[in-house]
Structure 1
Amino acid sequence: MPMISRRTLYLSRYMASGASFQSIGYSFRVAHNTVGKIVHETCLALWNTLSPLCFPQPSKTLWEMKSERFATLWNFPCCVGALDGNHVRIQCPSHAGSLFFNYKHFHSIQLQAVVDADLMFIVIVGEYGRNSDGAAFKTSDFGKALMNKELDLPNPSLIPGPDEEMPYHFVADKAYPLNLNIMRPFDGRNLNNTRRVFNRRLSRARKVVECAFGILSRKWEIFQQPLRVQVDNAETIVKAACALHNFVRARDGEMRPETSTEMDTMRQSAGLVNWEKNNTPGRRPVDAIKARNALAEFFMSEGGRLQWINDLVCV
């Protein structure tokens, strides 16, 4: 068997079945450390080959294209991506202390991601497992670039109804700070109808990142158990899996809006762990509050409402 085919076979068996290096080595009469070396080298080659194609450098043009897809598929204007994090289980690293030990009492690396309207990863960031989503975001290069206005987002766009200029933004849950470029839900239980509708619309748009994690976990059985490799190798495996995810979805063509049942099925990600987030403390900028209120008003206007959502959540 040609070496390239053998490498692909080892990797596909490992990723798709979750089989150990020992098991694969036994099947093909190869030493388990040789299998591990080949898997790592092949994942690295996949990432180096696919990342320029599957993770193009963000630009104003790219963000505008992503925003148009969110408006078309999920009826959320000026949204360029959904932001969230999940934990990938790993074996206990040597001499790592508590860096990878999260508050759910297992070792992990955190995969922070921005996902587009078609369930494709735009940005992926790895962090220590002990960090919360909000903390991981703030310390990452992506988070710093966003907060420092270095992502080359388009200029604000006028939305009808409130006639307000709306900044281009990411949608996220309550673990992330409210910002001109990050829209998060309104807090509290006794919300008025305008805020209830906004939260439902934001949740609907944000489902894409949960679905992407779910698809990733369900396609690759390796994520249904701790990755029993060194941390650097685990990061390479995760990056290769994300690149393959994008490559396959691009070949499948543009997606259609799924039904709630289909979306809920895709969101199930037993291998990647996402739990209820803590509310990010801190003061919220006045301009960000104003932008979120304007978007909430737009969702209640004739030009912006989805009547079936209003009928569902309004009291």
Structure 2
Amino acid sequence: MATTPLCPRARMAQRRRILIVVAMLEAQEEEDAMRGRRRYGSYHDLVKELHLDEARFKAYFRLNKGQFEDLLRRVAPEMLKEQTAEPITAHERLCICLWYLATGDSFRSIAFIFRVGHRTVARIVRSVCRAIWDCLMPEFMPTPGKAEWGEIARDFQVALDFPNCVGAIDKKHIVIEALPPSGSLHLNNTGTFSIFLLAVVDARYRFRVVEVGAYERRSDGGGGTGTLTSSPFGHALHHDTLDLPGDAAFPGAEHLGTLPHVFIADEAFPLKKNLLRPYPGSSNNVGERKVFNNRLSHARRMVEYAFGMLASQWQLYRRVHGISPPVAETVVKATCMLHNFLQWDNVDATPDIPAETSLGMQNSHRLGSNNASREAMAVRERFTQYFVSPAGQVPWQDQL
């Protein structure tokens, strides 16, 4: 029997009633969860037990107790600005957020573990991640100036035998679930939904520049309006406004003249005056050009290791993110900041990188055209000449 379709006003009223019922059910769920929090919630049982065992505490929260207390002191005032249905201490909020980052469990799973509402978990994760980014940035990811870029270059020279290098750059797709309003906004060229993470890493595995945002599918060809140069960092690199140190000669190779300070990247990036990439193709991977590719690959592993450490430390990168793009951006930025917080003075650390791949973090594809300028090709050629000269060669450069 056919039913008479509802008029627009009736459909709107029906939708309003459904939303009211859903809101009432969720409010009841929050109330039921809060009622048993002190008796059954993990914070009032398991977390207190973990404080008695340093190794287990770090396994659950990825920070030791001293680091946890230091972080709490730095971010507590900011993260308490957002109210929840029932007063939840700054300590418990940080536990909930770190539990999510360390495990990648769903908000509903964590809500059950801590006996709070899943909407409360979502608000806590968002506000704590925002507080971590805002409060730690001045100390653990300050905007580099000429002096800081110079210090990074000295570290690359001493530790990795790559002169005039101010950072290794790479970009990853952070895979997210497609949400109804997204459309194709976050659909990348591999057919998955994602946001991007663009990062510059120094010779100590620390993130010095981080940009997170919606995926951009334009190319860098022609007008230079693609995924790299349309980002704030790429725009500054293109227009020479990063406050990099001036051109400098290589030690013992004054005959090559002065060369610019450069970032190093893989073949997905375009070749520019201040951005070096390998010589492409197997036909170029011989002789002097093979030496250049080996030396660049050896130095560029800093950014690969940093991403590997990030995915190993925070298990949410092992899964596809079931959160909205704005929340995903906040979460990703917070993990990068926490990475620096743990790594900043840990200069002798050797990264322990697992071999398995991360489901939630995937490699990026080409970020620009290969139509390099003559100036950019000349800069790469002069680096190549230095690496094969007596002043610049190292014993291992033919063995990689």
Fold-level similarity (TM above 0.5): yes
Structure number, greater radius of gyration: 2
Counterpart position of 1:113: 199
How far apart in 2 are the matches of 1:278 and 1:90? 20
How far apart in 2 are the matches of 1:104 and 1:195? 31
Q: Does structure 2 conserve the Cα–Cα contact (< 8 Å) formed by 1:155 and 1:168?
A: yes
Counterpart position of 1:144: 235
Counterpart position of 1:217: 311
Counterpart position of 2:291: 197
Counterpart position of 2:332: 238
Q: Does structure 2 conserve the Cα–Cα contact (< 8 Å) formed by 1:174 and 1:279?
A: no
Q: Does structure 1 conserve the Cα–Cα contact (< 8 Å) formed by 2:172 and 2:364?
A: no
How far apart in 2 are the matches of 1:285 and 1:164? 19
Identical pairs, percent: 33
Q: Deviations over 1:83-137 (max 9, x none)?
A: 1100111121332221211222221101011111111101111232353796321
* Letter matched to residue 285 of structure 1: S
Change (3 A) 1:189 1:142: same
TM-score by length of 1: 0.91
SS across alignment from 1:142: helix
Count of matched residue positions in the alignment of Structure 1 and Structure 2: 306
Q: Does structure 2 conserve the Cα–Cα contact (< 8 Å) formed by 1:16 and 1:221?
A: yes
SS across alignment from 2:229: helix
Change (3 A) 1:268 1:145: farther
* Letter matched to residue 230 of structure 1: S
Q: Does structure 1 conserve the Cα–Cα contact (< 8 Å) formed by 2:227 and 2:368?
A: no
Is 1:285 the equivalent of 2:379? no
Change (3 A) 1:34 1:113: same
C-alpha displacement at 1:188, in angstroms? Answer: 2.5
Counterpart position of 1:23: 109
Change (3 A) 1:127 1:35: closer
Counterpart position of 1:103: 189
C-alpha displacement at 1:228, in angstroms? Answer: 1.6
Counterpart position of 1:249: 343
Counterpart position of 1:94: 180
* Letter matched to residue 150 of structure 1: T
How far apart in 1 are the matches of 2:361 and 2:327? 20
Q: Does structure 2 conserve the Cα–Cα contact (< 8 Å) formed by 1:211 and 1:266?
A: no
Q: Does structure 1 conserve the Cα–Cα contact (< 8 Å) formed by 2:177 and 2:322?
A: yes
Question: 1:45-124 counterparts in 2 under 5 A?
Answer: 45-124=131-210
* Letter matched to residue 295 of structure 2: R
Question: Structure 1 stretch 278-287 or stretch 227-236: which is displaced more?
Answer: 278-287
Q: Does structure 1 conserve the Cα–Cα contact (< 8 Å) formed by 2:168 and 2:200?
A: yes
* Letter matched to residue 188 of structure 2: N
Q: Does structure 2 conserve the Cα–Cα contact (< 8 Å) formed by 1:66 and 1:81?
A: yes
Change (3 A) 1:266 1:289: farther
Is 1:10 the equivalent of 2:120? no
Change (3 A) 1:277 1:29: closer
Is 1:297 the equivalent of 2:385? yes
C-alpha displacement at 1:53, in angstroms? Answer: 1.1
C-alpha displacement at 1:277, in angstroms? Answer: 3.7
Unaligned runs of 5+ in 2: 1-43, 45-87, 221-225
Counterpart position of 2:69: none
Counterpart position of 2:59: none
Q: Does structure 1 conserve the Cα–Cα contact (< 8 Å) formed by 2:97 and 2:125?
A: yes
Change (3 A) 1:127 1:211: same
Change (3 A) 1:268 1:207: farther
User: Of the two structures, which has the highest relative contact order with CA contacts closer than 8 Å and spacing of 6 or more?
Assistant: 1
Question: Structure 1 stretch 129-138 or stretch 119-128: which is displaced more?
Answer: 129-138
Is 1:172 the equivalent of 2:260? no
How far apart in 2 are the matches of 1:267 and 1:203? 18
SS across alignment from 1:308: coil
SS across alignment from 1:305: coil
How far apart in 1 are the matches of 2:245 and 2:366? 31
RMSD: 2.1
* Letter matched to residue 166 of structure 1: L
TM-score by length of 2: 0.72
Unaligned runs of 5+ in 1: none
Counterpart position of 1:307: 395
Q: Does structure 2 conserve the Cα–Cα contact (< 8 Å) formed by 1:85 and 1:274?
A: no
